[in-house]
Amino acid sequence: MFNYTLNNSKNIRLFSLIALCFFALAGCTKAPSNSNKTYIERLSNTLQTAKPQLNKPTTISPLLLPEKALNNTTISLIELAGLSHCKLSILISEHNNQLGKTAGHAGILKYQIDFIQNAQQCLATLKPSSKIYKTLLSAKNNKEQSLNHYFNLILYNETELKHSWQASSAELSSSPAGFSDTVEAMQQLVAIKHNIETKQYLKISSTDIFKALEILNKYRFNQQLINTARLQIAFNNSATQFVNTQRLADICPVGKNKKTANIVSNVFHKFYLGEVQPYQANLAGYLGTLLPLYHQLWFNQPVTNKQVNALIDSSSKTNLLNQLKRSAKSHVTWWQKFYKTCEISPI
């Protein structure tokens, strides 16, 4: 007993030490925004000027709740018995039990799609003049008309999707995981939406709904990308406002040494060109791929507000990607003027 306790206590101490090391390393991981902060701090210290306050991105308003769907045609138990030869009868029975009653919005959308697909097959086995045929056809038509509504409900309710537009303290790391998987998940959802809108119901893979949501939940890539890009735009704009308040005549006075000018040039090279610029180039690359998918999924949908539409409008000069590019270009423009005026080589 004594030896067991001793060994066990050693294991506990070893585990605690490992845990401390892990959290210490995690705590020391540099957030991408730190490069922006260090950049501004070094500039303000060198120029002996108070650093600017960051104008944080405005909060995006909540998504809009879709209107209620049309009333669906119901199939009675007696009519359901007349469909016992169809796979559809099993689907309806499973939906009507407790499992179906507690299904989330993604599960409800999947059921609507599966119903439409199975109803089409079942109708082919029934006489068009029969009452059950007419009831089933009516139910199928109602579900087809409401399908886009149920798709919008997952955009509004499913955490993996609605959180994309909510603020987060999490930043996209310099080497993030899940980009290609996120692109594939978004493509799956866009394909489902396209097939709903073009009424190509038999082409829809309803299982892709859960597959896509599982990937989006695993990485939270969209939320982190959108949040980080908006934060980087704010950093760029604040940095540009700051340097625009500086007089070049004070930084590099004519006929005097260029010590201050050389120092701020080194700061620009080390932190902005060396750290910030490569990182925001990656952000632009991710947005270049994902923004068209955001547009296809959310743009001008019943759940989407004006703020979100403005950020994802592919044809707009003020969408998220173009804002990022413009804010970076505006900042570099000041430095081009700096190097020309101070006659310092930018290399």
Give CA–CA dist 183/275, Å, rounded: 26
DSSP state of 203: G
What does the pLDDT look like over 272-313, one tens digit per residue? 999 999 999 999 999 999 999 999 999 999 999 999 999 999
Which tens digit of pLDDT belongs to each residue from 46-96?
A: 999 998 888 888 889 889 988 876 666 666 655 666 688 888 888 888 888
> In the structure encoding, which two tokens stand for residue 265, read together?
């040039």
Query: Do 182 and 222 touch, CB atoms closer than 8 A?
Result: yes
Closest of 127, 128, 88 to residue 111, by C-alpha: 88
What is the rounded CA–CA span in Å between residue 88 and residue 95? 11
138-152: average pLDDT: 93
CA distance 75 to 81: 10
**pLDDT tens column, 88-136:** 888 888 888 755 566 799 999 999 999 999 999 999 998 999 888 888 9
Note the helical H segments in 220-319: 221-244, 248-251, 259-267, 277-298, 306-312
Other C-beta atoms within 10 Å of 300: how many? 10
Please name which of 267, 243, 271 lies closest in space to residue 338, comparing C-alpha atoms: 243
Which tens digits make up the pLDDT trace of 201-220?
999 999 999 999 999 999 99
pLDDT at 181 over 90: yes
How far apart CA 320 and CA 211 sit, in angstroms, is: 27
Count the alpha carbons within 13 Å of 290 in the hemisphere toward its beta carbon. 27
Cα separation, 300 vs 153, in Å, equals 15
